[in-house]
Structure 1
Amino acid sequence: MASLKELKGRINSVKSTQKITKAMKMVAAAKLKRATERAEAGRPYATRLADVVSSLAARITVGPQSPKLIAGTGSDKTHLIIVCTADKGLAGAFNTNIVKAAKAKAETLQAEGKEVFFYVVGRKSKAILNRFFPGKIIGEYVTMEVKNPGYEHAQAVADDIIDRYESGRFDVAHLAYAEFENTLVQRPQIDQLIPVKPAEVETGKGASAAVEYEPDEEAILADLLPKNVAIQIFRAMLENQAGFYGSQMTAMDNATRNAGDMINRLEIRYNRERQAAITTELVEIISGAEAL
């Protein structure tokens, strides 16, 4: 049975931990508002750009002169999964859920006879992926010192990915991240990034009107495709940042409440032990006095 001194020390220790988790919750809540605003502001632009690129891709006839980012390599044997996670933990299952989605996608591709590699953005996925897919991480982008991801960081990742694609390191690239909805819901997403999937062309009633482009579609795509890769990665970074702070705020709130429950239980136990010790001393004093 723990002594009163040990129980008191444990109570003080849990109270110290509770102060830390409460402070972390407040910090995450303060950062969440700004991160949410950035994610929501970037989402319409990224979605619209992806739609425009996909629509333009459906209007051209793919040939040798077509941009490689839409024409592909002529094969789909080798796949690259870009896994975007946070660099820090203490955010519940946020990072784990993204890695699980990427792992499930990789296992599906491997079952189809494809070769799968990974590109890591954020360090939390690296250890897990190395355990399940040793030697399959071919690149990483460290974001430990990046407090607020900017477009230049996404551009650096996109340039590296495109260079690897054009040098024949892989045939298809997928982007894994968590789409932020609220502090409780961050949905893991796996989107095909390279090559671009052409949109389905509508026909008949309701089909879009004919549009002439100047310059032609292929010239526009040659300029937009690399930018689209960077924008989609930038969106993933913004969504992840908002999702991380939301998940961390929820996790620290739960930890703070759990610490409070533990303190209550320990204090009840401490009071019982203290009362038992006092009762024992009184019985000994009374017994001694009667013996005299």
Structure 2
Amino acid sequence: MSTAKPVFSFTRRDSHCPSCSEFAQPTRTHDPLRRWRYAGLALPIVFLAVVEVLVRASLLPMHLVPAPSAIAQTLWDLGAARLARHVGASVMRVCGGFAIGAALALLIGAAMGLSRRVDALLDPAFQALRAIPSLAWVPILLLWMGIDEAPKITLIAIGAFFPVQVSVVAGIRGVDRKLIEFGRLNRLGQRALFTRILLPASMPQIFTGLRTGLSLAWMFMVAAELIAATRGLGYLLSDGRETGRPDLVFGAILLLALLGKLSDGMLKAIETRALSWRDAHDVSESRS
């Protein structure tokens, strides 16, 4: 859910006051999307309420789709300490794997975006590796690294690497040539050209890749924890499947959805703050 820019209006001061300026300071007006934001927050709650009613009315089989109240009771019965251990294990793995994968992707993607030779050298291999499914990496990583944390974090890093790398290359290559020529006319060196023109102009697409990589990191985390894990949300999914407990399976899925939304919201907030200098087109403003 995106965050719209604040809309400002200017109030004219009293013309009889000679000490007053022509216009007052900008004042914040009503957000035209406020109702839609509230509706977006209420939509999942309404959906869960509808499922609850359908299950209680026996229109949905409880052994396939448990009631949300039963899911909440299952998570409550796990206990705060036990649930925190599972959530904490998954969060730490995602944070570590995403940090490693995104950092490598930023460095390698920048090198590929700035050098056609590096891109020609690495792009064919990366295109082939990107097509490998997440589960195909699991037996290889277990064979090479054992069953500790290393293969799990490596798998998550692999999932986060490729979307960030592709976005960095595309962002740098998509910078307007006129901006580059303007920098050269002002005698900017290669380093200054990168830090002052190429990097800021490609940041919107880089953040898009970071958000995509973060979502894939959560997906690859589940694949890593489904095999060779004793704690984590992926382990809860596997345990619920093996013991025939759909309430536990759906509980883990809901926690994954909640954590994914929170992490994406944090990254979106960082993006909004880092790119506050943009004068981007706002569809809501053009229609108001």
TM-score normalised by L of structure 2: 0.29
More helix by share: 2
Greater relative contact order: 1 or 2 (C-alpha under 8 angstroms, separation 6 or more)?
1
Bigger CA radius of gyration: 1
